[in-house]
Amino acid sequence: MSDRPVGQMTWKPPGTTECSLHLRLNSSEPWKHYKEFPEYALPDPTGFSEGYATFIALRKQNWDFI
């Protein structure tokens, strides 16, 4: 089993107009842009949504999508 936390992801947190991946490690924390988590952020393929590669990688690690 991994020591890495399983967190939550969303594309558009409440109260924002920005549509890019946002993360938080637990539901009591505010949403943060995925690039604020350099330990998880991956480069995106050209033409894909901002955060797509990170989203796919974290889903494979059982992160929740909200």
Q: What is the pLDDT of residues 20-50, one digit of tens each?
A: 999 999 999 999 999 999 999 999 999 998 9
Provide the pLDDT confidence category of residue 9 given band limits of 50, 70 and 90: very high
pLDDT at 2: 54
Higher pLDDT, 18 or 61: 61
What's the rounded Cα separation, in Å, for the pair 1 and 11? Answer: 27
- Which residue intervals of 1-66 are DSSP H helices? 52-60
Q: Does the pLDDT at position 17 exceed 90?
A: no
Answer yes or no: is pLDDT of 5 > 80: no
